[in-house]
Structure formats: C-alpha cells, structure tokens
Amino acid sequence: MTTIPQLICERSKDRGDRTFLLFEDQRFSFLDLRREVQQAAAKLRRIGVGQGDRVGLMMANHETHVWLYLAVAWLGATSVEFSRHLKTHGLQTQLASAKPAFMIADVDFIDELGPALEAVQHPTAMIWFGDGGQLPETSVRYNELPLETDLFESPVADDASRLQAISFTSGTTGKPKGAMLSDRWFQIGAKNAAILADAGPDDVLFLWEPLYHVAGWMTLMIGLQRGIPVAMVRKFSASKCWSQIRRHRATLLHYLGGVLNILLAAPEADRDADNSLRVVWGAAAPTDSWRAFESRFGVEIREGYGSTEAQNFTHLNLDGPIGSIGLPCEEFEAWIEDIDGTRLSPGQIGEIIVRPRGDGITMDGYFNDRERTADVLRNGRVHTGDLGYCDEDGYFYFAGRKADSLRRRGENVSAWEVERVINAHPAVEESAVVGVASPMGEQDIKVFVRTANGHQVQPLDLIRWCEKDLAYYQIPRFVAFVDEFPRGPTQRIKKRELPADLEAWDLEQSGYQVSR
C-alpha cells in the first residue's frame, strides 16, 4: 500500500507543476509540496526529531502547518494534533497523556500552551512558528532556522503500518482518548472518502475543517492520492463560504455537524445555485434538509458513516435512500446487535458493530489506555457506541449515540430521535436535547430550539407536534429557545455548554396532559 512519503514523491513526478494547495493568494504545486516537506523534515531532523518520536502540533490552518505535519510523516515520527481552541487545563490533560518529545505551535497560542507545558513538567522541546511573542530562552523559533541543503529521502517510505498520528477524541463521553492511527488507516480512509465524494481529475476540494481534525487531513489525503487541488481556508465562515468556493472554483465540499443547516439558514439569494460545487459529501446530513439543500444549491449530497476508532468511513451511501448511511465499505462487515450481543432483525435499533476484513484497518488502540481500548476493540470487532438499524435491503441508518441518551420513567430515550422529530417542524431550524435532573430520580427532557428565519412557534405547539411521532416518555418537559447554539470547530452543537437547569417553559406547569 502506498504511504504518505511515497505519495508525495509520486505526485511530484506525475503532477509536477500542477496545483496541490490553494491558500489565500498563494498557489503551491506538487513539486513545491515535495520541496517544502523535505526542507521542513531536514530542519526538524537537525533539531533532533527522529523515527518514533511524538511531535505535537498546535497551529492554525496555513501552509506551514501542512508542510510540518507531512514532514513529521517523512521522518517516521508521529503527529499529535492539539486543538487551537483548547485552554490551559485541556491542553494539560492531553499533554500529560501524549507526552510529546517535541511541540510545534503558532506563537499566538503561547499564553495557553506555555503554562500547560510548565504544569505537565515533561521534557518537551518547544518550536514556535511566527513573529513576535516573548519566547522562553530554551525555545526555537522555526522561522529563524536556516535553510537546509541535505534534503534526504524518507527512511520509512514503505512502512504503511507506521504510527502516523495520535488523534484525541472530543471527550464528550469522558476524558479525551488518543486514538493511534497508522499510515494505512489514512490511506484507506482517503480512498473511501474519494469514492464517496466521486473525486475526479478535474475536481477541486474545498477544505474548511481545522487541521487538528482528521477530516481536514482526509481532504488533503484525497488531493495527494488523486493528484487534485485542495483549496484551504483558515476557518469556516457561513458568510464567506460561497464566495470562497466560487473564487477557487471548488467542486467538492465536505460537511460535518451542522454545516448544511447553517448554510441553509442564510437568506435565499438569486445566486444560490450559481456555484461551482458538484458534490457535497460527509456524515450526519439532516434528513429533513437533504433534498432542500440539493434543490436550493444545485448539488448532490452523498452521505457516509465512520468513526476514528474504526475508519474514516465504514459505510457509504452511493445510491441508496435518503437518510441512510449506506452499505459497508469493502474493508468491513457490519451488523446491529443488542446489549446482550444478539444480532437484530431489520428495523430494530441497537449498536452498530463493524468487523474489519484484514489487519491494520482500524485504529491500533487508545494510547496508553488498554482498559478503554478493550471496551471498543473486542474479538476482532469495533463496538462503535453508535445506535442504528438496517432496512430489508441491508442499508444502514444512524439513530444516535449510546452515550447521548437518557433514562426517563424507566425507559431509555435517544436524544437524536427526539431531535429528529422536532427538527421536522416547519418553524424549527435546529434543536438540541439534554437530560436534566428530575425530582422523581432519573432525568427529565429539556429541548433547546432555534427557530427558522421569520418563524415563531409556541412551546405547546411543539409538544403537540411531538405527540404524533413520539412516545409519551420521549416528549420534552422543558422547552427553551436560543438565537444561536454554542458550536465546536466542526460546527457540531456543544451540548455540554447548554444550561441543564429548569429555567424554561415547563409542560407540567402548563396544565396540558400528554396522551398515552
């Protein structure tokens, strides 16, 4: 299997002067890519980075971030990306877990990263990128390192099993876990992502995700594998997205989280369908927005499913029904099973289980965490922690996270199922369900609602809407309205920042009786 260093070499030969990266007003060819990566690798080697070293990166989206990440791979070292949004406490937790021997960061993050490094007290060589900032005497400023003349070949070019990255999960179900991902993991992931995106020789990929997220590197990997350009921006901007896409003539857009709904929420304009996009591909497309987005913007949505622990994509919906995550990729078998491990029949909701058809396809495990690794990787299978079901034709459907559920009146309630119903209301743009403390023990349901532009809805109208499709114990007790949701960099709603208090409209105080 071709590796990252091999791809860099191959593309520099067969694509040469063709564009690899577009960033702001800059254009970099595949030849530029190879030179920049080799130069960065030579600088890092001079500092002391070698095979097997863990190298942390905390950088914004810019071209030097790309060169340095790929230079770490060139050297046979392991990248550990840190979110640029983390504060000192969060950085301290992940630094203490990963213990990188080297850390490369933009100087903009010195106020948060500096104290975290001091608190961890692990010997980490610090390399700062950018001008300004009062740096410790022991630090190295990357910009001031001299150019190297010894642009050596990669010592690990043919090692696909090499540990390419440690990718920390978001920590929504406990403290962050560092998933160990091989070069092979990235190659398979990008191959299937390109199939889902229908990437061809004339396409241009649009990259908005932060590069500490594996989705960002998957877009760059597609560019490397297929030899096509990647147009990268510093961060996602709903107001600038379409102009950026038109400027670069991008044809393929990856979506995550609430991106589709965010773009749909903008006021309609005559130019909506006048864009260069051909395919919008990704995961978690809201079923109710699917056709509306395709019609308004003149694109095709292609949905998939995956997880860091299993693979970037384990399922692809290339020609199946709206709302489905599709069929398993060629590298996997998949099925649905209950809590006792019994396989379920079509239509029954249970946990999505995937089994790789070979070695080295999934993550290698969580870094220094055998116990939690054993919870996920069992008997050659990946227990995804996601709920889903199959239809009679074998197509899979996502039905929420096991961890994103609550216990109410003796019944398990999926937040995803409640949100799905509420989001179908014509006045609702988006919703988020959380569990709140109940005087009866267990939990009550609180829903936060963002209405669509120009619409209003009364809480009781939402309750009556829910009665049509939800069991009595799934119907929210508390309803609160928000203008905006707190979001992470991939535009997913950060539920942990929503107030889990009882300060909201209360069904039980309204006098209305839900039918049973």
Per residue in 45-73, pLDDT (tens digit) is 999 999 999 999 999 999 999 999 999 99
- Residues 6+ away with beta carbon under 8 Å from 344: 335, 336, 337, 338, 350, 389
Q: What is the pLDDT of residue 360?
A: 93
Please give the helix or strand (H or E) that residue 467 lies within, else none: helix 459-467
| N-to-C CA span, the chain | 58
Calpha distance 358→472 (Å, rounded): 45
- On the question of pLDDT at 220 being above 60, the answer is yes
- On the question of pLDDT at 153 being above 90, the answer is yes
The label of the residue with tokens 């440690």 reads 166
Q: What is the pLDDT of residue 333?
A: 98
Q: What is the pLDDT of residue 181?
A: 98
* Average pLDDT of the chain to the nearest whole number: 92
CATH homologous superfamily for the domain 408-510: ANL, C-terminal domain (3.30.300.30)
The answer to whether the 186-401 and 408-510 domains have the same CATH topology is no
- On the question of pLDDT at 515 being above 50, the answer is yes
Considering only residues 255 and 440, tell me which one the structure prediction assigns the higher pLDDT. 255
- Exposure on the CB side of residue 235, measured as CA atoms within 13 A: 10
Please give the helix or strand (H or E) that residue 187 lies within, else none: helix 183-197
Q: Cβ-count burial of 172 within 10 angstroms (0-12 exposed, 13-18 middle, 19+ buried)?
A: middle
Give me the percent of the chain exceeding a pLDDT of 90: 77
Considering only residues 471 and 2, tell me which one the structure prediction assigns the higher pLDDT. 2
- On the question of pLDDT at 441 being above 80, the answer is no
- On the question of pLDDT at 21 being above 60, the answer is yes
Tokens of 80: 């550990």
- On the question of pLDDT at 173 being above 60, the answer is no
- On the question of pLDDT at 259 being above 80, the answer is yes
Tokens of 70: 């790929």
**Is the separation of the CB atoms in 51 and 264 below 8 Å?**
no
- On the question of pLDDT at 176 being above 80, the answer is no
Please give the helix or strand (H or E) that residue 416 lies within, else none: helix 415-423
**Is the separation of the CB atoms in 218 and 193 below 8 Å?**
yes
Residues 239-266, mean pLDDT to the nearest whole number:
92
Domain boundaries, the chain: 4-159, 186-401, 408-510
The class that CATH gives domain 4-159 is alpha beta
Tokens of 153: 């070949």
The DSSP code for 474 is: G
Residues 226-233, mean pLDDT to the nearest whole number:
98
Residues 471-482, mean pLDDT to the nearest whole number:
91
- Residues 6+ away with beta carbon under 8 Å from 496: 172
User: pLDDT digits over 40-49, tens only?
Assistant: 999 999 999 9
User: pLDDT digits over 193-207, tens only?
Assistant: 999 999 999 999 999
User: pLDDT digits over 403-428, tens only?
Assistant: 777 777 666 687 888 998 899 999 99
Q: What is the pLDDT of residue 170?
A: 58
Query: 186-401 has which fold?
Result: Rossmann fold (3.40.50)
- Region of poorest pLDDT, from 376-385, 395-404, 477-486: 395-404
Query: Angle at which helices 63-75 and 4-14 pack, to 10 degrees?
Result: 120
- On the question of pLDDT at 171 being above 60, the answer is no
Assign 439 a pLDDT band (cuts: 50, 70, 90).
low
Residues 491-504, mean pLDDT to the nearest whole number:
87
Assign 257 a pLDDT band (cuts: 50, 70, 90).
low
| Cα dihedral across residues 499, 500, 505, 509: positive or negative | negative
The DSSP code for 484 is: S
- On the question of pLDDT at 100 being above 90, the answer is yes
Assign 32 a pLDDT band (cuts: 50, 70, 90).
very high
Assign 172 a pLDDT band (cuts: 50, 70, 90).
very low
User: Concatenated DSSP letters for 127-171?
Assistant: EEESS-S---TT-EEGGGSPPPS--PPPTTTT-TTSEEEEEE---
- Exposure on the CB side of residue 45, measured as CA atoms within 13 A: 21
The label of the residue with tokens 């929504």 reads 172
Tokens of 75: 């050297």
Helices and strands, number each (H, E), in the chain: 14, 28
Residues 311-328, mean pLDDT to the nearest whole number:
96
**Most confident stretch, 91-100, 170-179, 222-231:** 222-231
Give me the percent of the chain exceeding a pLDDT of 70: 97
| Phi, psi (degrees; rounded to nearest 5) at 324 | -85, 145
Please give the helix or strand (H or E) that residue 40 lies within, else none: helix 30-47
Please give the helix or strand (H or E) that residue 363 lies within, else none: none
- On the question of pLDDT at 141 being above 60, the answer is yes
Considering only residues 490 and 130, tell me which one the structure prediction assigns the higher pLDDT. 130
**Is the separation of the CB atoms in 166 and 367 below 8 Å?**
yes
The label of the residue with tokens 């054993």 reads 374
Integer-rounded Cα Rg, in Å, for the chain is 24
Q: What is the pLDDT of residue 410?
A: 61
Strand 26-29, strand 102-106: pairing: unpaired
Q: What is the pLDDT of residue 440?
A: 57
